[in-house]
Amino acid sequence: MKPKFNFREVISLLKASDLVSKIEIRDVDEIKDRGIYKVRCNLIPSRYKFEIKIIYTKREILYSYQLFTDKPIIRWDNAPHYPKIKTYPHHFHNKDGNVVESELTGIPIEDLKVVLIMIKDMFLEIS
C-alpha cells in the first residue's frame, strides 16, 4: 500500500524548521490521480538552498531532496536507476559524488524529518 501524502504537512514542517528562512512553492500541479510538487527553501546559513520535488501517483511516490549552493552538494531520491544498492530504489548522492544506500523510505513527511536532521548535522560539522 502506497503511503499517504499531504503537501500541507510538508510546508508546515518546513515552516517549523529553524534551518529554513524562506519557502518558495515553485509548482503544485494536481489532477485526479497525480500530483507534482516542487518547493525551494533558503536555509540558514544563507548560501545554502534546499529543494524538494515530489510526484504522487496512484502507484507510487517519487521524491528528490537536494541541498545546493550554486552547485549540487547532496541529494536523496528514489529514481529507479541504481538496482544494485541494497536500499533500492532509495539512494543518496553524497558530497563526494558517490551513490550509496539511503535511510529514507518513501514516506515524505517522515523522510523530510530525517533529511532536515542530516542537513543540520552536516552544518554543525562544517561550522
Three cell numbers written together for 104: 529514507
Give the pLDDT score at 127.
63
Any domain includes 55: yes
Using alpha carbons, select from 108, 100, 42 the residue that is nearest to residue 69: 42
Neighbours of 31 (CB within 10 A): 7
The beta-strand segments (E) located in 7-112 are 20-31, 34-43, 49-57, 61-68, 72-77, 91-93, 99-101
Any domain includes 102: yes
Any domain includes 12: yes
Task: Enumerate residues 6+ apart whose C-beta is below 8 A from 5.
Answer: 35, 54, 56, 61, 108
Any domain includes 2: no
**pTM, two decimal places:** 0.93
Give the pLDDT score at 22.
97
Residue pLDDT, tens place only, 59-107: 899 999 999 999 999 999 999 999 999 999 999 999 999 999 999 999 9
Any domain includes 53: yes
Residue pLDDT, tens place only, 3-26: 678 999 999 999 999 999 999 999
Any domain includes 1: no
Per the structure, the complete domain to which residue 87 belongs is given by 7-126
How many folded domains does the chain comprise? 1
Residue pLDDT, tens place only, 32-41: 889 999 999 9
